[in-house]
Every structure is written in structure tokens, then in C-alpha cells.
Amino acid sequence: MVATPPPSVPKPERGKSDRFEDASQIELHRRLLDIAGPGPATAFQDACRLMVLDPPFENTTHLLAHLLREMESALRRICLAPIQTKAEKAKSEKSADSERKAQIQKILTAYGWSKDDAIGKFWLSLTKRERRLHSKVHRNSLGSPKPFDEEFDRMLTAAIKKSKEQSSYIWNFASGNHFVIYGEVKDSKALPDGKYVTMHSSASEFKSQHNGLYPTTGNWYADNIESIEDGQTGRYIRYVQGRTAERFAQIAELLETFNKIRHRYFAEIIFGAGNIEKEVSNEQHYGMPTADSVAIGCQWSRENMLLLLTAPEKPIFLVKPIAGQENDVQVGGSKLLLYPHGLGKRSSQLLEMAFSPDALRMNGKTFEPDSSIKDDKSFQLRNFELSEATGDSVPQIITDILQKCPAEILGKLHQIFSYHSKAPLPIQS
């Protein structure tokens, strides 16, 4: 899934200290000057400078939060002025967080905005304990100020705690090949320049539990599993049929929507509902495209843009699959355009495989249905050097995939921060 924060002012090139290098920044500064006066306008001007200073100040996070608080406070006073009584005005001079929330709600109502609009969600989110600007302006200790990656770390830690305490969703972004990535897109044919979030996980709520779809011992359909074996090759198919198969397919179809919803939930508790402008892609890579087919490790959508996932710190490729090739298949009455969701793994030696109804044997090791090859050193992630993907360069492994599954490369998502199983916390940038 990819979600974008609200439209932000594009950053000028790092290292330059000019006041503004973008027309939208100039226009916003002009409006602040006209409406709010020189105080908030110069605060915005200084914030723009701070965001592009290279090297940044050690206290950049706290300085920015202070400037943003000054701007928010000024705009709140200006919006309240025409709709406040004298008593309310006197009270607002010493407003606590609860009073600020009431003031913002009053402004939203008076000016015709809803608390569910992007403006309303974002503004009200600043009154929540974990997002208050006050907490970012001041520190509770004499320690060093927090850099940006530590701030992202803090957001994730708060989201993990909130998901465990307030929801039944299972946080699994540090499991297997799952992740949360915050990155930047530039010069893409598919997306506007800006910051984007990519999240990758599966619905662990329906995995190894009794009601899950993994063929674990004792789950709801374990006693109904049958198999057909080829006596010459040893290859086999495990299957269920009848009402069990119908129920399995129904749950698989339900989980496509379920996993999209859970990703939206996690995106909102990490970044705040008001900070997500829109969802631009939410495709699944595991499921049943039809009642008689199973897709594992591939996407089957005919959307104009899909993600080809790579590895931590490496660019993620935005691609548009080309129809009419071998990966364009007919399954029953459905036309599916199959495309890998990642680079996958390769065997570090000549692959040896043997089959039996109860297990799969590879490179001399036995893998039962509920086991994984993720920690087996004879299998390695396909990867490439970062230098192979600079500019318009395309790594050889990506070229090889494009030959098997043709697609047009629309752009790249360059990773800024990533959270995954190899670096769950702190974040590696």
C-alpha cells in the first residue's frame, strides 16, 4: 500500500539557504503576511530555511515544532476573533489542550469545515497527547535533541503500543519480508513528486490460528485435507473440496478487503488520519483471484501502476505491466495479469528438490507445510548494489524480471526511513 501525506511544500535543494525556491512557498508566505502579519509569515520563512539546511542543526526538530506552534496559535486567534465573545476571548489567553480542542471545533463549525475533512482531522490531531507541538518543542531531559529518524522511531513505537492496546489487529511489520517504508518519488510518470509511505504485510489475524488459512495441525479444515501424488515424480497437490473448499474460498475473498482496511488503520495510527492525503495503491500479493486459483507472491491486478519491491535502502520500482504476454492468463472466466510483488529468493547452489505428501525436501533439508526457508542460508534474497539503480539505471535483476514479466518502469520510490525485521528499531535511514 502507498499513502501520501498531505500536499507539502516541495523542498528546495539541500544546502541552499535562500528564503524560497518554490512558487507555492512564496504564495503561502504572501498569504500569511496579508492575513496574519509578519510574525507567522517570518516563522514560516524560517521553517522553510531550516528544512533545507545542510548540515541541519542538532535541534532542527525542536526549532521547527516551535515555529509551527507559533503559526498554529496565530491562525487560531485570527479565526476565533470574529466568532468569540469577550469572555471567551479572555479565557482563550490561558487555553489548555482541552480548551484548544474546543476552540478548533468552534472554528471548524463556524467556517463550514467538518472534523472529518483533511483540515479538521489534521488540526484536531495536534491536540492529541502523542502529537502535541508542545511535546516536540520542549524536552523532559538534558539529553541530545532527537534527529528526524528518531522521531519516526517514536511514531512507530507509539503506533505499536496503540495497536496492541486499542485494536485486535496484529502488528507484523517486523516479521518476514514485511515493512513500513517512508520515501520520496521524483520525476515519475505515475505519481506527483512528494513523500510516500509503503506498507507491506499479510493478515496475520487469519494465519496460524484455528480460523486461519495456513494448513496447520488442528485448524478448522486440517482433517479434510486430501492429496494426489504423481508416482513417477513424487510431486503432489494438497486440496480440500466440497463445503470446506467453498468456505476456504469465501474467507480468502474476504481477506482481500480485510487486509486493505487493516493497512489503512495502521497508516493512520502511525502518521495521523489528517496526514494521509489519499491512497494511491493497495494491491494484494496473496489470495484467490478466482474460486479455483491461488496466487502466492504475485499481484494479479490490471491497475496502471504496481510496486516491484526490492530490499531495505534500495529504490522500489513503480511499474505498469504490459498485457498480452505470457503472464497475461485466462483462469476460468477471468483474465488475470500476473506480476511479481518482489525479487524473491534464489538458491546459492544447484537446487535439489524432492517431494512427498507430507513435506518438501530442498538442498538436503526437509520443509514441512508450516515451515519457512527464511533462515536457511542456502537461499538468499535477490539483490543489487545501490550504485546500479542511480539516475535512470536499471539493475540487471530488474531487467531479467522485465524479460519474463514485461512492464514499463514508471519511476522509483527512494527510501528515506525503513522499518523491517532486520532493523525493527531503531530505524535505519
The model's pLDDT over 232-267, given as tens digits with 9 standing for 90+, comes to 877 888 899 999 999 999 999 999 999 999 999 999
Q: How far is CA 398 from the centre of its chain?
A: 22
The residues pairing with 199 across neighbouring beta strands, listed in sequence order, are 180
- What is the rounded distance in angstroms from the CA atom of residue 389 to the CA atom of residue 400? 14
Residue 93 clears pLDDT 70, i.e. is over it: no
Sign, Cα dihedral of 39, 41, 46, 51: positive
Cα 216 to Cα 113, 243, 321, 355, distances in angstroms? 51, 19, 35, 19
List, for residues 175-196, the tens digit of each pLDDT value: 888 999 988 999 999 999 988 9
Per-residue pLDDT, 16: 42
Cα 68 to Cα 63, 130, 156, distances in angstroms? 9, 16, 22
Per-residue pLDDT, 11: 41
Per-residue pLDDT, 97: 57
- Indicate the pLDDT class of residue 21, thresholds 50, 70 and 90: low
- Indicate the pLDDT class of residue 66, thresholds 50, 70 and 90: confident
CB atoms inside a 10 Å sphere around CB 23 = 10
Contact by Cβ (8 Å): 8, 192: no
List, for residues 393-405, the tens digit of each pLDDT value: 999 999 999 998 9
Residue 374 clears pLDDT 80, i.e. is over it: no
Annotated domain spans of the chain? 2-157, 158-344+382-428
pTM beyond 0.75: no
Residue 19 clears pLDDT 70, i.e. is over it: no
- What is the rounded distance in angstroms from the CA atom of residue 318 to the CA atom of residue 189? 9
